[in-house]
């Protein structure tokens, strides 16, 4: 046995040809995502994606505090381990269920479908899904959402939209978070927005500071519009 060769560099065994199963996996995921849409047709579902620590949970906490009386909000939150983010949402009075992915770097639609059996969504207007912090894999998995929001923190660098284009291509809104730190970090909202719109010309952009409140009104208005749009579609179908 050659112990110096990394396992990932091993030669293929014999003449076995491995089929690329990724596309089939995504087809199966899309099938489940469709089932999710059919199961909760009246609820506006927002899939929030970002790198780890960009401020997703903080944004949802502040949203809950502002809109909690106006909209019935629930949260499904995915993390590789711990119940911490669900606890943070419950602390501000939002019904939340943690999806522990057991190390997986994204949420798959089947995890959401399973979670729907364990959360009471009666009367819920808006369901947030907080995805696992990662700008790559979550982009490929439709979770049955109506809208995808990518959060890009001012501390991450404004070059991310071109480096991780699929996430921005598949989103309806880019939130630039931690806007209160913009005076202290080399991040240009204009440069990030320009790159992001070259990837996805229809992408909307809002800058937000969850802790100082800047941009929260625009964000809450965006959410209320999307909830109303979803209800109007549901009423006519």
Ligand X SMILES: Nc1nc2c(ncn2[C@@H]2O[C@H](COP(=O)(O)OP(=O)(O)OP(=O)(O)O)[C@@H](O)[C@H]2O)c(=O)[nH]1
Q: Which residues bind Mg ion (CB under 5 A)?
A: 56-57, 85
Q: Which lies closer to ligand X via its Cβ, residue 32 or residue 86?
A: 86
Residue 180 in the binding site for ligand X (CB under 6 A): yes
* Least separation in angstroms between CB 182 and ligand X: 10
The span of 102-110, 112-120, 175-183, 217-225 binding ligand X (CB under 6 A) equals 175-183
Sign of CA dihedral 94, 214, 53, 165: positive
Number of helices (H) and strands (E) in the chain: give both, helices first: 8, 7
How far apart (Å, rounded) are the C-alpha atoms in residues 82 and 62? 21
The binder of 138, among ligand X, Mg ion, none, by C-beta within 5 to 8 A per type, is none
Residue 83 in the binding site for ligand X (CB under 6 A): no
The binder of 63, among Mg ion, ligand X, none, by C-beta within 5 to 8 A per type, is none
Give kind and range of the element (H or E) at residue 177. strand 173-177
Query: Rg of the chain over CA atoms, in angstroms?
Result: 19
List the interface residues with ligand X, window 99-158 (CB under 6 A).
Answer: 133
How far apart (Å, rounded) are the C-alpha atoms in residues 55 and 204? 18
Give kind and range of the element (H or E) at residue 208. none
* Least separation in angstroms between CB 25 and ligand X: 24
Residue 53 in the binding site for ligand X (CB under 6 A): yes
How far apart (Å, rounded) are the C-alpha atoms in residues 237 and 218? 29
One character per residue 191-220, x = contact with ligand X (rule: CB under 6 A): ------------------xxx---------
* Least separation in angstroms between CB 113 and ligand X: 22
How far apart (Å, rounded) are the C-alpha atoms in residues 98 and 111? 11
* Residue ranges that bind ligand X, judged by CB under 6 A: 50, 52-58, 85, 133, 177-178, 180-181, 209-211
């Amino acid at each position: 046995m050659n112990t110096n060769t990394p396992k990932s560099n091993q030669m293929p065994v014999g003449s076995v040809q491995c089929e690329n199963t990724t596309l089939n996996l995504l087809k199966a995921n899309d099938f489940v995502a469709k089932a999710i849409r059919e199961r909760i047709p009246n609820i506006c579902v927002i899939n929030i994606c970002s790198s780890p620590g960009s401020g997703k949970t903080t944004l949802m906490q502040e949203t809950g505090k502002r809109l909690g009386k106006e909209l019935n909000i629930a949260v499904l939150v995915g993390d590789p381990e711990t119940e911490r983010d669900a606890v943070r949402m419950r602390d501000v009075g939002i019904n939340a269920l943690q999806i522990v992915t057991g190390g997986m770097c994204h949420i798959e639609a089947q995890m959401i479908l399973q979670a729907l059996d364990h959360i009471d969504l009666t009367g819920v207007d808006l369901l947030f899904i907080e995805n696992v912090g990662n700008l790559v894999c979550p982009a490929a998995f439709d979770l049955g959402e109506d809208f995808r929001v990518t959060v890009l923190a001012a501390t991450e660098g404004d070059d991310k939209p071109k480096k991780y284009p699929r996430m921005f291509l598949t989103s309806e809104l880019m939130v630039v978070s931690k806007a209160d730190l913009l005076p202290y970090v080399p991040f240009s909202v204009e440069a990030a927005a320009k790159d992001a719109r070259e990837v996805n010309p229809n992408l909307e952009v809002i800058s937000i500071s969850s802790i100082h409140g800047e941009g929260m009104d625009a964000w809450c208005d965006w959410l209320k519009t999307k909830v109303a749009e979803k209800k109007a579609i549901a009423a006519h179908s």
